[in-house]
Amino acid sequence: MSAEPILRLENVSKRFADFFALSEIDLEIQEGEFLTIVGPSGSGKTTLIRILVGIEELTEGKIWLRNTRIEQLPANRRPTCMVFQSLALFPHRSVGENIEFPLKLRKQDPKRRRARANELLDLLHLPQSFYEKRIQECSGGERQRVALARALAFDPEIIFFDEPLSALDFRLRKDLEKELKDLHQRTGKTFVYITHSLEEAMIMSDRIAIMRSGRFEQIAVADEIYARPVSRFVAEFMGEVNLFDIEGMASGGLKGNGVEIYIKPGDSGHLLNLSAGMRGLLMVRPEAVRFMYSGETADFVVKGVLRAEYALGSRTQYKVEAPNGDELAVEKLREDRFLGQVGDQVMLGWDVEHTHMITED
């Protein structure tokens, strides 16, 4: 990736009457990057991508494509392309005619169009015999590939994706997630993708941008966001999580609600960056929590009652009720499953290196 961003947003806002769908967004996207924007419904991600592709006008701010301002350019004059959730293919035309459509608009001669369409069919792992096949005869996965081939025929600098896999069944969606990641690597194009699916984002992306109420809550690589979220919202959005209210003590130790802390005084505050009087959220993911047996020790311990067990294929998830009523999640690989029964008294433990402290303002 180059040092200079291919796309830069500066103070971008979008207002509908008195409602701000986007509020002072800043963002830099590197050339060749796969950036995925995720967030709950109404967070502003669809509005943002429509502004970036030129379908929607912004209210305030600047958008730079390399060294050129583009926020006033109409969609057809921007070197970008969108793959819509609906795909927007021409249903009564052939696969080849759909792929060639951008080239026909540029008045390329038929032989060059046909040659380029065949190249793209090969790139998307579709037989060249599909050139004559009608879109109505194609499966859902084949239509997705045709839509991608047509987008690449535009030869855009950036391809935007508006939840293109959301209508597909689970197995096909999993296959196409991997194919999209592979396609990104083979083409070197810049991909900007929006989705509700956190799993999609984590599988495909170089970076993930979490949106909330028209702003970015956190932008980082998947591992960073999962292990070190900046807020309760991000921690909970990134999957199952256990959170405890914690306060730093003058002794250097920690006081927790519902959790017993056995870290040596002076170590815990330093390791978790929580000074005396400060409050925070102690976070531990379910896979870092273990069932403890006689003689075992841990930096953090919670006693409770096993209330439920759920088989998740290769993993098993457990729900444990703590004495204060909080519910904790534990996840184990299937071969390491807990041998007790629902209703048993249990003790959970984990160590400080598997925790993260969230100190929100």
Instruction: Give the 3-state DSSP-derived string for the chain, with helices as H, strands as E and coil as C.
Output: CCCCEEEEEEEEEEEECCEEEEEEEEEEEECCCEEEEECCCCCCHHHHHHHHHCCCCCCEEEEEECCEECCCCCHHHCCEEEECCCCCCCCCCEHHHHHHHHHHHCCCCHHHHHHHHHHHHHHCCCCHHHHHCEHHHCCHHHHHHHHHHHHHHCCCCEEEEECCCCCCCHHHHHHHHHHHHHHHHHHCCEEEEEECCHHHHHHHCCEEEEEECCEEEEEECHHHHHHCCCCHHHHHHCCCCEEEEEEECCCCCEEECCCEECCCCCHHHHHHCCCCCCEEEEEECHHHCEECCCCCCCCEEEEEEEEEEEEECCEEEEEEECCCCCEEEEEEEHHHCCCCCCCCEEEEEECHHHEEEECCC
- Residue ending a domain, among 192, 216, 232, is 232
Q: Which domain holds residue 250?
A: 240-358
* 267/185 same-domain check: no
* 257/118 same-domain check: no
Q: Give the tens place of pLDDT for each residue, 53-70.
A: 999 999 999 999 999 999
- Residue ending a domain, among 212, 232, 252, is 232
Mean of pLDDT values over 204-217: 96
CB 229 within 8 A of CB 238: yes
Q: Give yes or no for residue 279 having a pLDDT over 50.
A: yes
| Cβ within 8 Å of residue 142, ≥6 positions away | 95, 126, 130
Q: Give yes or no for residue 275 having a pLDDT over 70.
A: no
Per-residue pLDDT at 8: 97
Compute the mean pLDDT over every residue in the chain, rounded to the nearest whole number: 89
* 217/263 same-domain check: no
Domain count of the fold of the chain: 2
Q: Give the tens place of pLDDT for each residue, 332-358.
A: 999 998 989 999 999 999 998 899 989
* 36/184 same-domain check: yes
Per-residue pLDDT at 61: 97
- Residue ending a domain, among 211, 232, 253, is 232
Instruction: Kindly indicate the confidence band of residue 268, based on its pLDDT and cuts at 50, 70 and 90.
Output: very low
Give the residue with greater pLDDT, 94 vs 167.
94
Instruction: Kindly indicate the confidence band of residue 262, based on its pLDDT and cuts at 50, 70 and 90.
Output: low
Per-residue pLDDT at 266: 46
Mean of pLDDT values over 300-327: 92
Mean of pLDDT values over 161-184: 87
Q: Give yes or no for residue 165 having a pLDDT over 90.
A: no
Per-residue pLDDT at 264: 52
Instruction: Kindly indicate the confidence band of residue 86, based on its pLDDT and cuts at 50, 70 and 90.
Output: confident
* 200/275 same-domain check: no
Give the residue with greater pLDDT, 115 vs 265.
115
Per-residue pLDDT at 357: 87
Q: Give yes or no for residue 260 having a pLDDT over 50.
A: yes
% of the chain exceeding 90 in pLDDT:
61
* 132/215 same-domain check: yes
CATH code for the domain of 66: 3.40.50.300
Instruction: Kindly indicate the confidence band of residue 92, based on its pLDDT and cuts at 50, 70 and 90.
Output: confident
Give whole-number Cα distances, 361 to 23, 154, 281, 300, in Å: 19, 46, 12, 25
Per-residue pLDDT at 263: 63
Mean of pLDDT values over 298-307: 91
Q: Are strands 279-284 and 315-321 parallel, antiparallel or unpaired?
A: unpaired
* 245/228 same-domain check: no
Mean of pLDDT values over 147-152: 91
83 closest CA partner among 41, 144, 167: 144
Instruction: Kindly indicate the confidence band of residue 289, based on its pLDDT and cuts at 50, 70 and 90.
Output: very high
Per-residue pLDDT at 273: 60
One-letter amino acid at 2 equals: S
